[in-house]
Amino acid sequence: KAGVTQTPRYLIKTRGQQVTLSCSPISGHRSVSWYQQTPGQGLQFLFEYFSETQRNKGNFPGRFSGRQFSNSRSEMNVSTLELGDSALYLCASSSGQMAPPGYTFGSGTRLTVV
Amino acid sequence: AQTVTQSQPEMSVQEAETVTLSCTYDTSESDYYLFWYKQPPSRQMILVIRQEAYKQQNATENRFSVNFQKAAKSFSLKISDSQLGDAAMYFCALIQGAQKLVFGQGTRLTINP
């Protein structure tokens, strides 16, 4: 059973550019969540998609957006990049069931903004 | 708002010995789940153990066990017979209702051979 696949693994972008990250969940999983991990702020929830609908959103500016496709693959987009957006971006796949919740994480995309 | 606190930024233990990582949390709900995740240098978050709040019995997974004190809102992880492969960042996390994990700041565990 394939795990959660995030692409690319590493990315270097310039301030002001925009970036798109991709996450392919485990087959059969309909929920994808995104988290930002930085040394200063730790792991913070960005948003969650379930069956192509955003079900929950964290406290991030509108420059951060996402979407989910009919095959459950998800993308997140960050526009007008700032230096502070440098982080490890992790996605987590789950069936979407509440009880019990089970999340499988990808290995993340390391974004560096210069 | 839910919060998760890990008060030990770093811990170290001798190989084959036992170590306990601490976690406290705050939530106004009575029904929630608690997790310990391990993040090795490969960056992938790996689930170590999960505890349902409504279950009084402490969860156990091989060498890993928890001490869940619901009234005290405490959820510590005990690793027995520590192995070199246990070296990693360990994160305590909470989820209830809203389908988002709230993480603690993490504890870096070093295993000394």
Q: How would you write the pLDDT of chain A (114 residues) with one tens digit per residue?
A: 679 999 999 999 999 999 999 999 999 999 999 999 999 999 999 999 999 999 999 999 999 999 999 999 999 999 999 999 999 999 999 887 666 678 899 999 999 999
Place of tokens 């070199």: B84
Q: Which two tokens stand for residue A37?
A: 């991990």
Residues of chain A neighbouring B100 (CB-CB closer than 8 A)? 33, 45, 48, 56, 58
CA distance linking residue B96 with residue B99, whole number of Å: 7
Distance from CA of B42 to the nearest CA of A (A): 7
Contact A105, B44 (CB under 8 A): yes
Distances (CA, A) of B72 to A37, B26, B68: 28, 10, 9
Residues of chain A contacting residue B37, judged by C-beta atoms under 8 Å apart:
105
Q: Which contacts (CB < 8 Å, 24+ apart) does range A35-42 have?
A: A35/A89, A35/A90, A35/A91, A35/A92, A35/B101, A35/B103, A36/A60, A36/A87, A36/A88, A36/A89, A36/A90, A37/A87, A37/A88, A37/A89, A37/A90, A37/A108, A38/A86, A38/A87, A38/A88, A42/B103, A42/B104, A42/B105, A42/B106
For residue A110, the Cα-to-chain-centroid distance in whole angstroms is 11
Task: Kindly provide the b/e burial profile for residues B70-92, where b requires at least 16 CB atoms within 10 angstroms of the residue's own CB.
Answer: eeebebbbbbeebeeebbbbbbb
Residue B98 has pLDDT above 90, yes or no: no
The per-residue pLDDT for range B50-90, each reduced to its tens digit, is 999 988 889 999 999 999 999 999 999 999 999 999 999 99
Give the minimum alpha-carbon distance from B100 to chain A in angstroms, rounded to a whole number: 7
Chains A, B: CB contacts under 8 A, how many? 53
Q: Are B76 and B28 a contacting pair, CB within 8 Å?
A: no
Token reading at B39:
């993040």
**Position with higher pLDDT, B94 vs B30:** B94
Q: Could you tell me which chain B residue has the CA closest to the CA of A42?
A: B105
User: CA angle at residue B107 from B101 to B108, to 5 degrees?
Assistant: 130
CB A74, CB A23: distance < 8 Å: yes
Asked if A88 reaches chain B (Cβ–Cβ under 8 Å), the answer is yes
Report chain A's C-alpha Rg in angstroms. 13
Task: Name residue, tokens 């925009």.
Answer: A18
Residue with tokens 């990582």: B21
pLDDT value for B111: 97
Q: How close does chain A come to B69, measured CA to CA in Å?
A: 20
Q: Which residue has the higher pLDDT, B29 or A111?
A: A111
Phi and psi at A83, nearest 5°, equal -55, -35
